[in-house]
Structure 1
């Protein structure tokens, strides 16, 4: 099945750091967004979910989603921790929950460390979590010069703290520094790490899966849509050859509102939205609403997406507007 587009996003998480005087800041960088499968059948089940585990219950209260949404991931891989594996450089972030440091290892070779919190595990990653790290189930995947390590923080739906280590040519085992940094990050996460100080109107603390009611989804998806969370700030609902999706994210706010070359401005009852219709194999309408913006045009958005098979008679952009109008009153006031 086709997927919703995965575009490069320019991080604006520095906007959230207003009022925070300690810990590493969040610079702006580019990174592809992860997206969920479109057109899934409403009766299917997510293979990454462990049915026996209590839904939305973390293995430790420190890893609760409502807590993780406000934690600055860069503060979990602070300079003192990175110095145990090399020489850290500047921090950069491409989303609320991701932080990278493009540093050098102890031999002076390139070492890139990227940390994700609230990371949604695939079924294969869940199956691979047969080790232990910092008291959590852990999985590793080693490639030629990189290593991916997860520490499971919730089993239903499956989430983790995840680290990706990319080493330069001729460098030592990339998994070794990855384990050390991830263990330190988990330890920090269990303590009192630095949190964001979000500006007025920020949606960073909102759970996208719980803010949308069934009555909003039913006209497009039917009475029993399947909800699929993805990370901490994205949720999709599937049913009847269609899908709806809500995502909150940081980005650079274009001065002309053209988030896409096809963007057109629409009125959502006194609130501006910018929609773009994509007539592809799974026709899709994406509607962006700006929630916060600072003087440098760094900001946060809510993106409402409606997609359906070509055979389904549906005005996707009209449905996206109705979707947005139903949700916007429940978001923090700007």
Structure 2
């Protein structure tokens, strides 16, 4: 019996962190300005153990339309921790964004000590994390994980099945303040902004940022590798995996620095996908041999862009040309993606 691993964040591309003054946009994406609304930023977070009566565990539905996946995919996470939010806990610095859904600010607290804050939207929670979400922030069920006095993860549940959250990670330096308190304040402000009209991306032509990765792939594409009844495993807003018959297939949309030679991995070789489209595949042997195929979708003059990554993996005993299967996977999906 082979256990199929779940690819939570396969590192084909180590996207370079983008340091930007003001709201970061992520490689390959521009930002648009939405009309500002007056929102209460960083209001004191409640710690009530009573869950919100407005929440619903309806499968596939957010607890509030503001948190719908199709809306979140276009929201710039840096806009949710804008300076008016961060200034409630210290002195903001530059923003760093290395993915569609993550933004960080390595700032100082009010005493001039280290205060590092990272926000994720559409963050996938485990069933245990949902069960432990017994507090409340901005009307949402909330859970905390305190690793030490200097490190704290706080999640506000935005959807219960599959479970997703807005999550803040806070770390402080030696001698700094306790980490959870500023985290609650920042998360409160971020959720309030999310319910308003936060800044959105203005995607270039061909961008896959708005695509639901779980619905873009049909069963006929999966069946030859996984059988007739594969199980879908969504992760975040831009990744989906399917498992079945000692194998796994995955698609993920990412921001990335596009290498000049197209090689996202030292083992990458070029693959002709037809119609003038090239991919770059890397075979990785091991206990669960894997082929990873990357196709560039957008690229700007600074070589910042967006990619789609196709992965096919299977147990050693399975008779399967994994890279050929990855190419077939890509050829089936690419025509359905936005075209440049």
- Same topology, TM > 0.5: yes
> Would the alpha carbon gap of residues 71 and 141 (structure 1) be closer, same or farther in structure 2, given more than 3 Å must change?
same
CA distance in 2, matches of 1:278, 1:227: 23
* 1:284 to partner: Cα distance: 0.3
- Aligned equivalent of 2:40: none
- Aligned equivalent of 1:26: none
Match of 2:270 among 265, 274, 290: 265
CA distance in 1, matches of 2:231, 2:6: 17
Query: What secondary structure, in the 3-state scheme, does the structure 2 residue paired with 1:9 have?
Result: coil
- Aligned equivalent of 2:66: 62
* 1:6 to partner: Cα distance: 3.4
Q: Which runs of 5+ in 1 are unaligned?
A: 24-51
CA distance in 1, matches of 2:113, 2:126: 31
Superposed CA deviations along residues 93-114 of structure 1, whole A, max 9, x for unmatched, are 1100000000000010000000
Per mean C-alpha deviation after superposition, the further-off stretch among 164-173 and 108-117 is 164-173
- Aligned equivalent of 2:153: 148
Match of 1:288 among 290, 294, 297: 294
Please tell me whether the aligned partners of residues 93 and 105 of structure 2 are also in contact (alpha carbons under 8 angstroms).
Answer: yes
* 1:131 to partner: Cα distance: 0.5
The TM-score normalised by the length of structure 2 is 0.87
Task: Give 1:1-334 correspondences, 5 Å limit.
Answer: 1=3, 2=5, 4=7, 5-6=10-11, 8-11=14-17, 13-17=26-30, 53-144=57-148, 145-270=150-275, 271-334=277-340
Please tell me whether the aligned partners of residues 142 and 157 of structure 2 are also in contact (alpha carbons under 8 angstroms).
Answer: yes
CA distance in 2, matches of 1:3, 1:141: 22
CA distance in 1, matches of 2:30, 2:181: 31
Name the Cα RMSD after superposition. 1.6
CA distance in 2, matches of 1:14, 1:184: 25
The TM-score normalised by the length of structure 1 is 0.89
Q: Which runs of 5+ in 2 are unaligned?
A: 19-25, 37-55
> Would the alpha carbon gap of residues 22 and 299 (structure 1) be closer, same or farther in structure 2, given more than 3 Å must change?
farther
CA distance in 1, matches of 2:320, 2:57: 37
* 1:194 to partner: Cα distance: 0.2
* 1:123 to partner: Cα distance: 2.3
> Would the alpha carbon gap of residues 319 and 193 (structure 1) be closer, same or farther in structure 2, given more than 3 Å must change?
same
Aligned length: 306
Per mean C-alpha deviation after superposition, the further-off stretch among 229-238 and 127-136 is 127-136
Superposed CA deviations along residues 180-237 of structure 1, whole A, max 9, x for unmatched, are 0000000000000000000000000000000000000000000000001000000000
